[in-house]
Homo-oligomer: A and B are copies of this chain.
């Protein structure tokens, strides 16, 4: 019986790590759609978001079944509750990638981004995708050093986010209010995406150590 139980716990972690890969892929494609003004890629991200929602529902069901049938305690209970939180965070990351793709679609065939901010969004995309993949690794390995790394990567994202405001507020900004509004929201989507990846890693630290390394919510 215990073996089946352990298998169920591993299965739940595997499902969450798989969701991380999925939303990393979504953000990679959404960023390319944004930067390369690629409508087809944007549509792909938009139509595939339902799969992340399904994966989340399925992960929640697994967690629910574990709670109902195995009544876990101590560390195992922390694992299951953290998985419930994690599934929510990762689904939200998928939604944020979806929002990026929707912005690309909304302005098509025009680019959303003036040329001068393209490199920043390329970098935010890269950091974001990397954070999602690292969160998946942390779920699989429960490696605390790797979990700590996500906090550093998130600082890089915060710097990029702050920098975007400096660019927008600069006297040299010549693109007017419309693109500034789009960029404000897009930069926020990337920043929140990163925050949720960090939240996933923090929950794993909590599973292992019994203590949260930072705020419970992001």
Contacts and interface: CB of A to CB of B under 8 A. Distances in A.
A216 B67 contact: no
Interface residues of A, number: 34
Nearest to A173: B177
A41 interface: no
A4 interface: no
Interface stretch (A25-33, A124-132, A138-146, A179-187): A179-187
A88 interface: yes
A71 interface: yes
B217 A92 contact: yes
B184 A53 contact: no
A85 interface: yes
A64 interface: yes
A5 interface: no
Interface in A60-99: 60, 63-64, 67-68, 71, 73-74, 77, 81, 84-85, 88, 91-92, 95
Contacts of A217: 56, 88, 91-92, 95
A169 B178 contact: yes
A168 interface: yes
A208 B173 CA distance: 53
Given A68-B73, A88-B217, A168-B177, 10 more contacts: A64-B77, A67-B77, A68-B77, A84-B84, A88-B216, A169-B177, A169-B178, A176-B177, A185-B188, A188-B188
